[in-house]
Structure 1
Amino acid sequence: MWTRHHKNRKFGRLILPAITVAFIGYFGYHSIHGDYGLRAGERFDQIRAERNKELADLVKKRKAIEKQVELLSDGSLERDMIDEKARYQLNMSRPDEIVIFNR
Structure 2
Amino acid sequence: MQIGRMIRRAIRMVIPPALFIGLTAYFGWNVMQGDHGLQSYKAQLQLLAEARAAQQDAMAEQQVWVRRVRGLKESALDSDTLDERARAMLNLSRPDELVVPYGAHEHLY
Query: How high is the TM-score relative to the length of structure 2?
Result: 0.67
**CA separation of 1:50/1:39 partners in 2, compared to 1, >3 Å: closer, same or farther?**
same
Q: Which runs of 5+ in 2 are unaligned?
A: 92-101
TM-score scaled to structure 1, two decimals? Answer: 0.71
**CA shift digits 1:23-64 (9 cap, x unpaired):** 111111011101110000000111111111111111111001
Q: Which runs of 4+ in 1 moved over 4 A?
A: 92-96
Higher relative contact order (CA 8 A, sep 6+): 1
Across the two proteins, how many residue pairs are aligned to each other? 90
SS at match of 1:74: coil
Aligned to 1:36, the other structure's residue is in SS state: coil
CA distance in 2 between counterparts of 1:58 and 1:29 reads 39
After superposition, the Cα gap between the structure-2 partners of 1:15 and 1:98, relative to the gap in structure 1 and judged at 3 Å, is farther
Percent identity between the aligned chains? 20
Identify the residue that residue 40 of structure 2 maps to in structure 1.
40
